[in-house]
Amino acid sequence: MSGTTATMDRVADRETLGHNRITHHAIRHTVEAVTARAFRVSRDNVTAALEDDDGKLGVSVSVKLTLPPLLGPRNGTGTVFELAQHARTEIASRGAELTGLEIGRVDIRLTGGKQDQPKERRVT
């Protein structure tokens, strides 16, 4: 082995010194994006607050949901509570995977109530 290759091998074996910092703002936006995906809404319809939960990341999210049409076919199955429980699990697991932080409590507040109206298109 040549001297250059041996030196490069030793450099690759060492740990790189330094640290990584993820800002509060970046973590909050990540949690909001994960929550929006879990509820199938736009990220604009989600706000998140972060706090300490006995050394873990405590998350409180507020989600603006649209109501399904009261008459006619329904797209989804299950109750809003079942949706929220599924979303809570997804927020904790996917949020931890993306941020590297252990997520403890996940509080979900569902707001909204506006019916989703299809946008009409006019041709002139």
> How confident is the model at residue 19, as a pLDDT?
73
Q: Are 94 and 106 in contact (CB under 8 A)?
A: no
- Tell me the three state secondary structure of residue 101: coil
The model's pLDDT over 40-98, given as tens digits with 9 standing for 90+, comes to: 899 999 999 999 999 999 999 999 987 665 555 556 667 888 889 999 999 999 999 99
Q: Where are the domains of the chain?
A: 23-114
Cα–Cα distance for residue pair 83/89, rounded to 1 Å:
10
**Burial letters for 73-95: b for 16+ Cβ neighbours within 10 Å, e otherwise?**
eeeeeeeeeebbeebbebbbebb
> How confident is the model at residue 30, as a pLDDT?
96
Q: Are 50 and 58 in contact (CB under 8 A)?
A: yes
The model's pLDDT over 23-39, given as tens digits with 9 standing for 90+, comes to: 899 999 999 999 999 99
Please state the pTM of the whole predicted model. 0.71
The model's pLDDT over 6-21, given as tens digits with 9 standing for 90+, comes to: 555 555 556 778 877 7
Cα–Cα distance for residue pair 58/79, rounded to 1 Å:
25
For domain 23-114, give its CATH number from 3.30.1360.40, 3.30.300.20, 1.10.1040.10, 3.40.50.720. 3.30.300.20
Q: Are 58 and 52 in contact (CB under 8 A)?
A: yes
